[in-house]
Amino acid sequence: MDTYPLGQFSVNRIGFGAMQLPGPGVMGPPRDHHEAIGILRRAVEWGVNHIDTAQFYGPDVANELIREALYPYPDDLVLVSKVGAFRDDHGNWLPGQRPDQLRSAVEDNLRTLGVDRLGAVNLRLHEGHTPGEEPVRLEDQLAEMVALRDEGKIAGVGISTANRVQVEQAIAQADIVCVQNAFSLLDRSDADVLDLCAARGIAYVPYFPLGSAFPNLPKVTDNPAVRAVAARLGATPAQVGLAWLLAHRENILLIPGTSRPAHLEQNLAVADVRLSDGDIAQLEEGGVTS
Ligand X SMILES: NC(=O)c1ccc[n+]([C@@H]2O[C@H](COP(=O)([O-])OP(=O)(O)OC[C@H]3O[C@@H](n4cnc5c(N)ncnc54)[C@H](OP(=O)(O)O)[C@@H]3O)[C@@H](O)[C@H]2O)c1
Rg value, the chain, Cα: 18
- Looking at 174, 210, 245, 268, which residue binds ligand X (CB under 6 A)? 210
Question: Judged by CB, which is closer to ligand X: 231, or 281?
Answer: 231
- Check residue 162 for interaction with ligand X (CB under 6 A): no
Q: Pairing relation of β-strands 9-12 and 3-6?
A: antiparallel
Of residues 130-159, those binding ligand X (CB under 6 A): none
Question: Angle at the Cα of 81 (from 80 to 82), degrees rounded to 5?
Answer: 140
Q: Which stretch in 31-39, 71-79, 201-209, 274-282 sits in contact with ligand X by CB under 6 A?
A: 201-209
Q: Which stretch in 131-139, 141-149, 263-271, 278-286 sits in contact with ligand X by CB under 6 A?
A: 263-271
Q: Is 71 annotated as catalytic?
A: no
- Looking at 4, 183, 208, 244, which residue binds ligand X (CB under 6 A)? 208
Which x/- pattern, by CB under 6 A, does the window 54-83 give for ligand X? ----------------------------x-
Taking the complex as a whole, how short is the minimal distance between the CB of residue 263 and ligand X, in angstroms?
4
- Check residue 258 for interaction with ligand X (CB under 6 A): yes
Of residues 102-131, those binding ligand X (CB under 6 A): 122, 124
Question: Judged by CB, which is closer to ligand X: 127, or 277?
Answer: 127
Q: How far is the C-alpha of 121 from the C-alpha of 109, rounded, in Å?
A: 10
> From the candidates 4, 57, 73, 204, which is the catalytic residue?
57
Q: Which stretch in 16-24, 141-149, 151-159, 271-279 sits in contact with ligand X by CB under 6 A?
A: 16-24
- Check residue 256 for interaction with ligand X (CB under 6 A): yes
Give the alpha-carbon dihedral of 138, 141, 147, 148, to 10 degrees. Answer: -130
Please count the residues of this chain forming the interface with ligand X, following the rule CB under 6 A: 30
Q: Which stretch in 41-49, 140-148, 186-194, 259-267 sits in contact with ligand X by CB under 6 A?
A: 259-267
Q: How far is the C-alpha of 203 from the C-alpha of 188, rounded, in Å?
A: 17
Question: Judged by CB, which is closer to ligand X: 132, or 174?
Answer: 174
- Check residue 101 for interaction with ligand X (CB under 6 A): no
Which residues are near ligand X by CB under 6 A? 17-20, 52, 82, 122, 124, 160-161, 180, 207-213, 221, 236, 238, 255-260, 263, 266-267
Which residues are tagged catalytic?
Answer: 57
